[in-house]
């Protein structure tokens, strides 16, 4: 299965990057990964879209189109999703007749040093994805609060046992979610 990944944090020591690495580590062996580097996508502009769709946007849409599923791993900024994620989704969803997102199985995940673990960012993401007819997995939710206590400082992954257990359950559930819609 071809799984496309989007990471909403651009910083090197990102906790969400560590969460994404841990999801990859515990994923079913028949998954292959393709990450989209969203930081190179310009801000959405309908004039630019009309005159010349940037190559990076064309690549984003093609990768999404061929994917069996998408996983969006993102921090929460000011109670919402980061602008880079919203921007990538706005480009992908436009124009609606050429959007790769309708009926696409999508799973959300996020990590935060705060307690609620990106619940508001995920709620906002879900609202946007439902508006563009994606099939967002309803549960199990992967909200990793107090994430700084769950990683080794040197480690590129989350190692805390309870969180790893939740991640394993989450990837199994998403595998089933994708299968449901591919039959
Ligand atoms: C501009 C900004 C706004 C933030 N707002 C929130 C927030 O609303 N909720 C939250 O849980 N954390 C918030 N944080 C803290 C982030 O969760 C924290 O910086 C986290 O480490 C970012 O994810 P990353 O480690 O993957 O880069 C905010 C951080 C920044 C820089």
For the Cβ of 77 lying below 6 angstroms from any atom of ligand 1, the answer is yes
Q: Which atom of ligand 1 is nearest to the CA of 11?
A: 27
The residue among 180, 55, 38 whose CA lies nearest residue 107 is: 180
Lookup result for tokens 């190559």 = 55
Taking CA atoms only, the protein residue closest to ligand 1 atom 17 is: 112
Q: Which atom of ligand 1 is nearest to the CA of 118?
A: 11
DSSP state, residue 100:
S
Please state, in angstroms and rounded to a whole number, the distance separating the CA atoms of residues 106 and 156.
Answer: 24
Taking CA atoms only, the protein residue closest to ligand 1 atom 4 is: 77
Instruction: Tell me how crowded residue 149 is: count the other CB atoms within 10 A of its CB.
Output: 9
Ordered per-residue pLDDT tens for the chain, 183 residues: 999 999 999 999 999 999 999 999 999 999 999 999 899 999 999 999 999 999 999 999 999 999 999 999 999 999 999 999 999 999 999 999 999 999 999 999 999 999 999 999 999 999 999 999 999 999 999 999 999 999 976 778 999 999 999 999 999 999 999 999 886
**What pLDDT is recorded for position 183?**
66
Using the mean position of ligand 1's atoms as its centre, give its distance from the Cα of residue 164 in Å: 22
Taking CA atoms only, the protein residue closest to ligand 1 atom 18 is: 112
Lookup result for tokens 């930081």 = 39
Write down all domains in the chain, each with its CATH number in brackets: 2-182 (3.40.50.360)
Using the mean position of ligand 1's atoms as its centre, give its distance from the Cα of residue 6 in Å: 17
Q: Which of 38, 75, 123 to mutate to test the pocket of ligand 1 (most atoms within 8 A of CB)?
A: 75
Q: What is the SS3 assignment for 6?
A: strand
Where does the chain show beta strands of DSSP type E? 2-7, 32-35, 69-73, 105-111, 135-136, 142-144
**Contact at 8 Å (CB) between 131 and 97?**
no
**What pLDDT is recorded for position 179?**
96
For the Cβ of 146 lying below 6 angstroms from any atom of ligand 1, the answer is no
**What pLDDT is recorded for position 74?**
98
């Amino acid at each position: 299965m071809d799984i496309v990944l989007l990471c909403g944090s651009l910083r090197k020591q990102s906790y969400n990057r560590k969460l994404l690495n841990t999801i990859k580590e515990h994923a079913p062996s028949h998954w292959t990964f393709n990450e989209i580097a969203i930081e190179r996508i310009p801000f959405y502009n309908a004039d630019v879209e009309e005159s010349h769709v940037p190559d990076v946007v064309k690549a984003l849409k093609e990768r999404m189109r061929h994917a069996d599923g998408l996983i969006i791993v993102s921090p929460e900024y000011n109670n919402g999703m980061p602008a880079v994620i919203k921007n990538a989704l706005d480009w992908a969803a436009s124009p609606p007749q050429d959007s790769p997102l309708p009926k696409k199985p999508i799973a959300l995940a996020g990590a935060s040093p705060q307690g609620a673990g990106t619940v508001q960012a995920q709620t906002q993401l879900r609202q946007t994805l439902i508006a563009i007819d994606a099939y967002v997995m309803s549960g199990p939710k992967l909200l990793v609060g107090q994430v700084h206590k769950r990683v080794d400082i040197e480690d590129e992954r989350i190692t805390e046992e309870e969180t790893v257990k939740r991640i394993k359950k989450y990837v199994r559930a998403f595998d089933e979610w994708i299968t449901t819609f591919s039959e």
